[in-house]
Amino acid sequence: MIWAQNSISKSLIQKAESISGDKFTRSAKTKNGAIIYAVQKPSKAMLKAIDKGLNDLFKLAKKNGYKARLKYSDYIIFVAKPDRLTDSDGNYIPNFKVPLGQYAGTDYDQGGFMYAAGIVFSQEYGAFMVAENEKRLEQVTEVVRFEGEPLVLYHNDRKRYVETADHSKGGGHPILQ
Q: Which residues pair with 121 in a beta bridge?
A: none
pLDDT at 171: 64
pLDDT at 160: 86
- Cα–Cα distance between 86 and 53 in angstroms, integer? 21
- The residue ranking higher by pLDDT, 7 or 93, is 93
Query: Rg of the chain over CA atoms, in angstroms?
Result: 15
For the ranges 13-22, 112-121, 126-135, which has the lowest average pLDDT? Answer: 112-121
- Cα–Cα distance between 130 and 123 in angstroms, integer? 15
- The residue ranking higher by pLDDT, 89 or 57, is 57
**pLDDT, tens digit, 9 for 90 and up, residues 29-84:** 999 999 999 999 999 999 999 999 999 999 999 999 999 999 999 999 999 999 89
The helix (H) or strand (E) run that includes residue 47 is helix 44-63
Largest CA distance in the chain: 43
Contact criterion met (CB below 8 Å) for 96 and 130: no
How many helices (H) does the chain have, and how many strands (E)? 4, 8
pLDDT at 3: 41
Q: pLDDT above 70 covers what percent of the chain?
A: 91
Cα separations in angstroms, 87 against 9, 59, 84, 115, 130: 32, 30, 8, 9, 15
- Cα–Cα distance between 94 and 81 in angstroms, integer? 9
Mean pLDDT score, 121-132: 94
- The type of residue at 52 is K
Q: Is the peptide bond before 174 cis (omega within 30 degrees of 0)?
A: yes
Mean pLDDT score, 81-101: 85
Q: Residue 13: which pLDDT band, with cuts at 50, 70 and 90?
A: very high
